[in-house]
């Protein structure tokens, strides 16, 4: 499955490079929903909430009510996870909260493991949290099996390549695929149809941002896939 991304920052749809520098702005959320109407699911990330500097609550609610969405960014309580489901989110993405065992148990119990996706985002080989601003001491490969009971899938972003349009690290995704039977979604630097094809062979979904916002990948070709 190909999953277009809507990232929200300061009330606007944006694309960042490696989670830091804004590279471009997209259309309004409703315009992006119309553009992505051919795809079965959309990924929505509240970057302000992820970085702990506000939120785009109303826009997230607007989008979740109108499309099948997986929603993440700053989901650090069971209450927030439940609220997103009540607003229409199909699945919930948690990153930072996944590494607090008590909190993860509460969130997973609140919405059910079947609705939970855990983000294992990697930079320089280590999992990063708090909007990719803080590095941990472990790798995704080391923790992925321990987290399986709490979720139904993993969103794995190769942050080193995020937004650079230079391709992703397929070997990393192959290693992750060998570590778990859970659903995997790849993100970070995916730029070509060939890369998407390789991920599909591995049974891995592709979450796409910069490559579709810049027109590098054709929406018509992607819809056919």
Contacts of residue 87, Cβ cutoff 8 Å, sequence gap at least 6: 60, 61, 64, 65
Nearest Cα neighbor of 188 from 33, 11, 15 is 15
Q: Which of 7, 21, 100, 171 is catalytic?
A: 7
CA of 143: how far to CAs of 38, 75, 138, 199, in Å? 35, 20, 7, 21
Give catalytic status of residue 220 as yes or no.
no
- How far does Cα 78 stand from its chain's mean position? 19
Q: Which of 121, 160, 171, 220 is catalytic?
A: 121
CA of 27: how far to CAs of 45, 108, 189, 208, 225, in Å? 15, 33, 21, 16, 24
Give catalytic status of residue 169 as yes or no.
no
Contacts of residue 105, Cβ cutoff 8 Å, sequence gap at least 6: 150
| Distance, CA of 164 to CA of 144 (rounded, Å) | 26
The pairing of beta strand 69-72 with beta strand 116-119:
unpaired
- Catalytically active residues, by annotation: 7, 121
């Amino acid at each position: 499955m190909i999953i277009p991304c809507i990232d929200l920052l300061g009330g606007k749809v944006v694309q960042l490079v490696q989670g830091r520098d804004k590279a471009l702005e997209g259309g309004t959320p409703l315009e992006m929903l119309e553009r992505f109407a051919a795809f079965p699911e959309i990924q929505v990330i509240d970057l302000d909430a992820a970085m702990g500097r506000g939120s785009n609550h109303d826009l997230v609610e607007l989008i979740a009510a109108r499309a099948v969405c997986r929603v993440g960014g700053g989901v650090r309580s069971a209450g927030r996870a439940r609220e997103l489901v009540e607003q229409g989110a199909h699945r919930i993405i948690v990153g930072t909260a996944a590494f607090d065992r008590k909190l993860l148990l509460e969130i997973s119990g609140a919405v059910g493991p079947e609705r939970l996706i855990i983000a294992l985002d990697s930079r320089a080989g280590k999992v990063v949290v708090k909007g990719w601003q803080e590095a941990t001491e472990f790798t995704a490969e080391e923790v992925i099996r321990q987290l399986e009971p709490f979720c139904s899938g993993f969103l794995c972003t190769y942050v080193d390549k995020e937004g650079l349009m230079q391709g992703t690290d397929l070997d990393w995704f192959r290693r992750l695929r060998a570590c778990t039977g859970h659903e995997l979604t790849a993100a970070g630097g995916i730029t070509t149809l060939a890369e998407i094809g390789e991920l599909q062979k591995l049974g891995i979904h592709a979450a796409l941002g910069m490559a579709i916002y810049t027109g590098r990948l054709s929406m018509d070709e992607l819809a056919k896939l």
